[in-house]
Amino acid sequence: MELWFTEKQTESYGITAKVKETYVREQTDFQDLAMIETLEWGTMLTLDDMVMTTVKDEFVYHEMVAHPALFTHPNPRHVLVVGGGDGGVIREVMKHPKVEKAVLVDIDGKVIEYSKKYLPTIAGELDNPRVEVIVGDGYMHIHEHKNAYDVIMVDSTEPVGPAVELFSKGFYQGIYDALKEDGIFVAQTDNPWFKADLIETVNRDVKEIFPIVRVYCANIPTYPSGLWTFTMGSKKYDPLQVDATAIPELDTKYYSPRLHHAAFVLPKFVENLVK
């Protein structure tokens, strides 16, 4: 018998992947979690039937959440990751020696637990002594910490289920307040083919709060449309003003100093969404 996992990315379109084995299928307190072994993408974590990460293509998302902001801020000592319980963003953050402490707040401890067990190449750095892992509500954490972080990264699920609040204007205001006076935040903001409205709304909201707002893209094959956007809000530093020749060459597979500026040059139809 052939088993295939199909994610309906819209009502009438999806991706489908052949499955060798199901390691975990569990309704947690927050979402439907599955850890499956696919032939094409290796081990895959899904939440509410949406692909969160796979061993084969995870590097794109995790690198592109972490590095553009960390190479824009000149001294990112304190970093917060909201969501991201699989640990992939933390792994990339740990590549920056300037980071003294990174706090990860994920609402679902099961994501952390199963990622450590089944996704060791992704979650390995969650045990780094520079990392503090908190199982808790990122929205609350943001509102309880003022002037605390240099960089905040929002590695949320899509705006359904537990992550709805993480796309609200109140959340972005909370992030602004939780950042230091020269802080930067970045959030994954879905894809422009099926979620153009979301990108427009987030962009408008963030622009009302942050003086510098930039959007960049990356190709993530297992995410809807393969084209993902990230929205950066900054109080002081502009990623487009960074001297890319001064960025060191990290051990990465997608991000590079050369890509730092190019990633912000958007296809025209995306550019038009965030004008």
- List residues binding its own copies (CB under 8 A): 6, 10-18, 38-41, 57, 60, 193, 217-221, 225-227, 252-256, 258-259, 261-262, 265-269, 271
Q: Does 211 appear as a known binding residue?
A: no
- Give me the count of residues in the chain: 275
Q: Does 109 appear as a known binding residue?
A: no
Burial class of 124 by CB neighbour count within 10 A (0 to 12, 13 to 18, 19+): middle
Residue closer to its own copies by CB (options 5, 172) is 5
236 in Cβ contact with 181 (< 8 Å)? yes
Q: Does 157 appear as a known binding residue?
A: yes
Residue closer to its own copies by CB (options 156, 229) is 229
Residue 59 CB, nearest approach to its own copies (Å): 8
Residue 173 CB, nearest approach to its own copies (Å): 31
Strands (E), the chain: 3-10, 13-27, 32-38, 42-47, 50-54, 78-83, 101-106, 131-135, 149-155, 179-188, 212-219, 227-234
Structure token digits, residue 175 = 């992030």
Burial class of 81 by CB neighbour count within 10 A (0 to 12, 13 to 18, 19+): buried
Q: Does 243 appear as a known binding residue?
A: no
Q: Is 155 tagged catalytic?
A: yes
Catalytic residue among 155, 182, 238, 251: 155
Annotated binding-site residue numbers? 31, 62, 86, 106, 137-138, 155-158, 162
Annotated binding-site residue numbers for spermidine? 62, 86, 155-158
Annotated binding-site residue numbers for S-methyl-5'-thioadenosine? 31, 106, 137-138, 162
Residues with active-site annotation: 155
